[in-house]
């Protein structure tokens, strides 16, 4: 069924926060050889591709999202040779490697920013407009040497590039090819919806009154001209075999607007759907968003779903409050929907958000450290990391030795989803329950409510239940589910 040209449709992507995943040289932060040493684990789990958070050199004002060289590897993580070795070893296991690309801004330490010949590569104004930084405060800072204000939609150390400049466009087309030529299977594009700013730098409208008032980001984000950039990038991606994949960080709440990033199958392959990620773990709310994407996206488009990432509270905490039954239901729906799921490292263990004391916080802009703690490989920490570990009860070593664990459950889900066809039809269900058919006969059903419930029209055998004991049970018409219980039913 799977077609190598569109391998990403049936794939499970696994997001690795490189600094926290695996540390080969014991210096306290993760690195590329560390990831390479865990490929056996990733193959055993069954993921198809990994997405690495930025690997480029960076002064780390925003932990890698302030790039000072788009063609290099941060010395903390290794070298280009280490990357090549990782791509090669992953390839042997049929695991593809995607990396983060941060084209909206550079680090203020990037040589371009201090090069007078590249002034027009950044956005300047004599008088700031009313735009605010996504991290708080004005989005403009006066440059002491230039005597003008430069734009930064994030930290002052992250000046925004001027995407009206041909020089910037040409440079990034080269960057794309540089990594694609090295065998990188695609990019996760940071702030993909915001590259182009209003050419006249008009003030954003302020809506609401007094304390309730807020800026509507209509002139510094989601501008219509951004689509031309992705049409161009898609043509570049198509020059490669297999075609390289463009996964966009598209914070666009309106689904019809979001669909434009897919274009006519000529822009991003996978624009991320944040209304889903930020919704409650609620059957009605989630199914409405999923149905909404079906309506808004062209029929041939393909959605991408995730519950956690490095910017938000991990879903086992945010959605599930650490409750095992809920964590399993969330994993089942994430991996059972039509679409490409992204697992954030540790999701497969049900890894929770970690409370980081204020005195230890490193992500001063946004306090996101709690989602970025070291991967718990063992029941006790082997050495000091750049950031503290959370509770190590859920760890790979113990869970791998226990076939009833969340880790095995996730692995079984990954195996089961290989048997799904690419279509999805929602079933009629009682309140609190969400169920759908994949293809003609496979059914995924989750009861996200406190009452037991029955799903009718289900035939087959339970391949996998959130309560382990039900595997193999035969279902003839009605699937009974207890509170916070889910099942994948396949034909007999
Ligand atoms: C989105 C990234 O995911 C986040 O970590 C970063 O701070 C901002 N973009 C700015 O690059």
Length of the chain, in residues: 492
**d(Cα 69, Cα 73) in Å, to the nearest integer?**
8
32-83 per-position pLDDT tens digit? 999 999 999 999 999 999 999 999 999 999 999 999 999 999 999 999 999 9
- Confidence bin at 121 (pLDDT 50/70/90): very high
Q: How far is the CA of 16 from the centre of ligand 1 (A)?
A: 15
Q: Is the CB of 63 under 6 A from ligand 1?
A: no
* Distance of alpha carbon 465 from alpha carbon 65, whole angstroms: 39
Pair of tokens at residue 471: 């595997």
Averaged pLDDT score across all residues of the chain? 96
- 100: nearest Cα among 206, 15, 211, 215: 15
For residue 101, the cross-strand partners are 189
Give, using CA atoms, the residue closest to atom 8 of ligand 1. Answer: 65
Give the per-residue pLDDT at 255.
97
Whether 251 is in the pocket of ligand 1, judged by its Cβ within 6 Å, is no
Closest atom of ligand 1 to 66 CA is 11
Quick check: 327 and 409 in contact, CB under 8 A?
no
Contact indicator for 429, 453 with CB cutoff of 8 Å: yes
In this prediction, residue 90 carries a pLDDT of 98
**In this structure, which residue's CA is closest to atom 5 in ligand 1?**
311
Residue 295's contacts (CB-CB under 8 Å, 6 or more residues apart) are: 255
Q: Can you read off the two tokens belonging to residue 404?
A: 């009833």
In DSSP terms, which residues pair with 140 in a beta bridge? 151
pLDDT band at 1; cut points 50, 70, 90: very low
What pLDDT does residue 444 have?
Answer: 98
If you measure from the C-alpha of residue 361 to the centroid of ligand 1, how many angstroms do you get, rounded to a whole number?
Answer: 17
Q: Is any ligand 1 atom within 6 A of the Cβ of residue 348?
A: no
**Strands 304-306 and 270-271, bridge-based pairing:** unpaired
DSSP state, 46? T
Which pLDDT band, with edges at 50, 70 and 90, does 382 fall under? confident
% of the chain exceeding 90 in pLDDT: 95
Asked if residue 311 lies in contact with residue 278, where contact means CB atoms within 8 angstroms, the answer is: no
**How far apart, in whole angstroms, are the C-alpha atoms of residue 464 and residue 355?**
33
State how far the Cα of 47 lies from the Cα of 346, in Å rounded to an integer. 13
Quick: pLDDT tens for 318-327: 999 999 999 9
Please give the Cα distance from 215 to 213 (Å, whole number): 7
Q: Six-digit token pair at 278?
A: 């930020």
C-beta contacts of 209-216 below 8 A and 24+ residues apart: 215/130, 215/131, 215/132
Report CA-CA distances (Å) from 47 to 89, 225, 260. 14, 35, 29
Known catalytic residues are: 190, 249
Residue from 54, 65, 160, 367 whose mutation best tests the ligand 1 pocket (most atoms within 8 A of CB): 65
Whether 420 has a pLDDT exceeding 80, the answer reads: yes
- Binding site membership of 161 for ligand 1 (Cβ less than 6 Å): no
Task: Please write down the HEC assignment for all residues of 402-469.
Answer: CCCCHHHHHHHHHHHHCCCCCCEEECCCCCCEEEEEECCCEEEEEECCCCCEEEEEEEEEEEEECCHH
Contact 263, 231 (CB under 8 A): yes
**Is the confidence at residue 144, as pLDDT, over 60?**
yes
DSSP state of 214: E
Helix or strand holding residue 49 (H, E): strand 49-52
- Per 3-state DSSP, what percentage of the chain is helix, strand, and coil (rounded to 5)? 30, 20, 50
Spatial separation of the C-alpha atoms in residues 40 and 46, rounded to whole Å: 10
What's the average model confidence in pLDDT over 26-30?
A: 97
Phi, psi of 201 (to 5 degrees): 50, 45
The pLDDT tens digits of the residues spanning 195-219 come to 999 999 999 999 998 888 899 999 9
Question: Does the beta carbon of 65 lie inside 6 Å of ligand 1?
Answer: yes
Give the pair of three-digit tokens for residue 390: 């959370």
The whole-number average pLDDT for the span 150-167 is 98
> 2 pLDDT band (50/70/90 cuts)?
low
Tokens of 76: 């903390």
* Backbone dihedral angles phi then psi of residue 417, each to the nearest 5 degrees: -70, -15
Above 70 in pLDDT, residue 236? yes
CA–CA dist 340, 12 (Å, integer): 6
Tokens describing residue 210:
């007094």
Torsion angles phi and psi, residue 117, rounded to 5? -70, -15
* Residue 468 reports pLDDT greater than 60: yes
Check if the beta carbon of residue 281 is closer than 8 Å to that of residue 321.
no
């Amino acid at each position: 069924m799977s077609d190598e040209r569109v391998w990403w449709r049936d794939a499970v992507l696994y997001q690795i926060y490189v600094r926290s995943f695996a540390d080969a040289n014991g210096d306290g932060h993760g690195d590329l050889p560390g990831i390479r040493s865990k490929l056996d684990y990733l193959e055993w789990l069954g993921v198809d591709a990994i997405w690495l958070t930025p690997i480029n050199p960076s002064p780390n004002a925003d932990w890698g999202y302030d790039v000072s060289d788009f063609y290099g590897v941060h010395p903390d993580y290794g070298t280009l040779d280490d990357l090549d070795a990782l791509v090669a070893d992953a390839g042997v296991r049929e695991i593809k490697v995607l990396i983060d690309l941060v084209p909206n801004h550079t680090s203020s330490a990037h040589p371009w920013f201090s090069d007078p010949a590249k002034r027009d590569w950044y956005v300047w104004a004599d008088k700031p407009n009313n735009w605010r930084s996504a991290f708080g405060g004005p989005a403009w800072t006066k440059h002491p040497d230039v005597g003008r204000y430069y734009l930064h939609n994030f930290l002052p150390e992250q000046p925004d590039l001027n995407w009206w400049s041909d020089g910037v466009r040409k440079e990034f087309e080269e960057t794309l090819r540089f990594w694609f030529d090295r065998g990188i299977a695609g990019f996760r594009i940071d702030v993909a919806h915001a590259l182009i700013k209003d050419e006249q730098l008009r003030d954003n409208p302020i809506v609401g009154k007094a304390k309730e008032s807020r800026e509507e980001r209509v002139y510094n984000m989601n501008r219509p001209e951004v689509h031309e950039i992705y049409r161009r990038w898609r043509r570049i991606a198509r020059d490669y075999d297999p075609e390289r994949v463009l996964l966009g960080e598209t914070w666009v709440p309106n689904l019809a607007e979001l669909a434009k990033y897919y274009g006519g199958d000529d822009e991003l392959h996978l624009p991320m759907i944040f209304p889903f990620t930020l919704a409650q773990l609620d059957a009605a709310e989630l199914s409405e968003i999923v149905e909404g994407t079906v309506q808004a996206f062209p029929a041939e488009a393909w959605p991408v779903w995730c519950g956690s990432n490095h910017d938000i509270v991990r879903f086992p905490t945010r959605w599930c409050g650490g409750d095992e039954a809920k964590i399993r239901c969330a994993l089942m729906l994430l991996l059972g929907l039509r679409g490409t799921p992204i697992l954030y490292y540790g999701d497969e263990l049900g890894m929770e958000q970690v409370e980081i004391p204020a005195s230890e916080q490193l992500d001063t802009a946004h306090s996101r450290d709690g989602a970025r703690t070291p991967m718990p490989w063992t029941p006790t920490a082997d050495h000091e990391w750049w950031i503290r570990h959370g509770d190590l009860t859920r760890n790979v070593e113990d869970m791998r030795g226990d076939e009833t664990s969340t880790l095995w459950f996730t692995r079984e889900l990954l195996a089961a989803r290989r048997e799904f066809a690419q279509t999805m039809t929602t079933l009629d269900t009682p309140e609190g329950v969400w169920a759908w058919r994949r293809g003609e006969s496979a059914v995924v059903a989750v009861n996200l409510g406190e009452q037991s419930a029955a799903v009718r029209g289900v035939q087959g055998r339970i391949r996998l239940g959130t309560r382990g004991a039900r595997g193999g049970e035969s279902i003839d018409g009605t699937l009974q589910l207890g509170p916070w219980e889910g099942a994948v039913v396949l034909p007999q």
